Structure 1
């Protein structure tokens, strides 16, 4: 329980934007970057002269976020908006094509956007449970379509192996609330009328996607894959459950601190090809042992595990393959 307690009440961060060198020439993409954690992360990267894309549904909100960042940080890199609707699989390829029209490489992708506990019965444009669609299926497809740009970045002469990275946003709820082996696949295929359970399933899915991405792509392309718990933070993730925000208020921290966790997951040199698929916890630390059954789920059967993470990856591949 001590490990969980330290995530609720983390020690002071030891990795901040002050520890990040100039990111001039690097291309970064943050989904959900117009508010909360993504906004603070975009501000940090812009201040380090990175070329930053804020991807989201609302151009108006993104333009306002860009304006606020540029006013707060007078000298920086560049900020651009990318239209992205993660709950509409049919639109994601067009978003990637729009990005590819401007960029030929991508150094770090933060799959930051998410939805939590929308009204029961909420579904995506294709009829999938909304949290599964927005938190897992959309990011899965988005990452798959961006893979060639990540590979191009990883082959650059100036890149340290493992510095090109995909960051997946999990949650402490996974370790606290996920069932044995993390996910019951029948609940993914036929989601229960329980928004909390579906949220936990989607966040466990992010943890599994990070692990499987590392297993399938890391060694061949020198790309690291990291899942992280951003921490208990006051953001608009609670927009569907405002009562929870007030109930949890004593435990909630500012988005800036959670953005430091994301910054560490995306840029820290502590993360290498040797520890790809590591799990990062607040406010920028590599966790020790995950819950044993979760670790087992991320191993294949021939490695002594259950292969549940691989099964979830294949589920996502099956549901998105027609939209590639």
Structure 2
């Protein structure tokens, strides 16, 4: 019953007390938004640019990124910067981090927003991980790990002594009772799982990663939060069946609403106090899956992450 109530609370939020107009001037702040060419990421980038942040649009499709950058410049007068990032390929992630580091020494906010939902079960990452866990969780872990020096430098240069990492999860994270490490790569155990449940597992992984990042780096100035952005009209649903889409479509909100919780975590004064928290629509502190509070599981997951990227 607790899970049902939590999902209802997250699915039908009250009017937001935080709005885009509440974002402070972000001049001098360097930010990355993964998956910023569409959906929530694009709406997040739009608001950041409008408030004078320097925004890197991190996505794998340069054509779509350039279209988004052009549109956002026409609307805000500010130009985002394309950063080629394929989160389904560890080598490509390393190249993206190196490209960013060649241009910037500081990073003030990292929005780990990109993701994939319920793709065909045969789809894998370049290194043969489950596409959802490999992209949504491992990919963002590795990208974040490589950017830790820039985030620490960003924290040191900020008046409040903080840099922020905002990790996009989902209410689907409430639907699973743990992590099955045997399903992270292409195994018989993985093939037995419904692809939508592999998605839910990846979203729980996002929350566990975020909490462990807060434990490890919170005292060094990195504020790590995870969030459910809401049930939104987004490109992420492209793999759902027609029936699945018809069932959920009446309950979806425009993507601009989904950006509110990202922006609250990433830009507001209150945001610096949200380390280790799980946020829900619109711009509220919520209650995560109890499994996400399992410090041993989070530490084991972090250890697994490190083992996967050790020789990249």
Determine if the TM-score, normalized by the shorter chain, exceeds 0.5.
Answer: yes
For residue 317 of structure 1, what is the aligned residue in structure 2? 306
Aligned-pair CA distance for 1:242: 4.5
Q: TM-score, structure 1 length as denominator?
A: 0.90
Deviations 1:278-324 (A, max 9, x none): 0110011111x4343432x2x3xxxxxxx11111111111111212x
Equivalent residue of 2:150, what SS?
helix
**Given the superposition, is the C-alpha separation of residues 114 and 82 from structure 1 closer, same or farther in structure 2, using an over 3 Å criterion?**
same
2:97 matched residue in structure 1:
96
Give per-residue Cα distances to partners, 1:205-228, cap 9 Å, x unaligned. 100000000111111x11100000
How far off is 1:42 after superposition? Answer: 0.5
Unaligned runs of 5+ in 1: 300-306
2:134 maps to 133
Structure 2 length as normaliser, TM-score? 0.93
Partner of 2:53: 50
Shift of 1:245: 2.4
Aligned equivalents of 1:208 and 1:252: distance in 2?
Answer: 26
CA distance in 1, matches of 2:221, 2:159: 10
Deviates more, 1:311-320 or 1:103-112: 311-320
Residue 173 of structure 1 is matched in structure 2 by 172
Question: How far apart are the structure 1 equivalents of 2:150 and 2:134?
Answer: 23
For residues 184-237 of structure 1, give each alpha carbon's deviation from its aligned partner in whole angstroms, at most 9, with x where no partner exists: 333335452221121111111100000000111111x11100000011001010
Matches within 5 A, 1:124-273: 124-156=125-157, 158-162=158-162, 164-175=163-174, 177-179=175-177, 182-188=178-184, 190=187, 191-193=189-191, 194-219=194-219, 221-243=220-242, 244-273=244-273
Alignment-derived partner of residue 294 in structure 1: 292
Over the residues paired in the alignment, what is the CA RMSD in angstroms?
1.5
Q: Distance in 1 between matches of 2:278 and 2:288?
A: 8
SS in 2 for 1:43: helix
> Matched residues in 1 for 2:229 and 2:171: separation?
8
Give me the whole-angstrom Cα distance separating, in 1, the residues matched to 2:223 and 2:303. 20
Q: 1:65 aligns with which of 63, 68, 72?
A: 68
Q: Distance in 1 between matches of 2:275 and 2:21?
A: 24
1:161, distance to aligned residue in structure 2 (A): 3.1
Which residue is equivalent to 2:109? Answer: 108
For structure 2, the residue ranges without an aligned partner over 5 or more in a row are none
Which whole-Å CA distance do the structure 2 matches of 1:241 and 1:205 have between them? Answer: 21
Q: How many residues align?
A: 304
Would the aligned equivalents of 1:161 and 1:272 in 2 still touch at CA under 8 Å? no
Tell me the SS of whatever aligns to 2:58.
Answer: strand
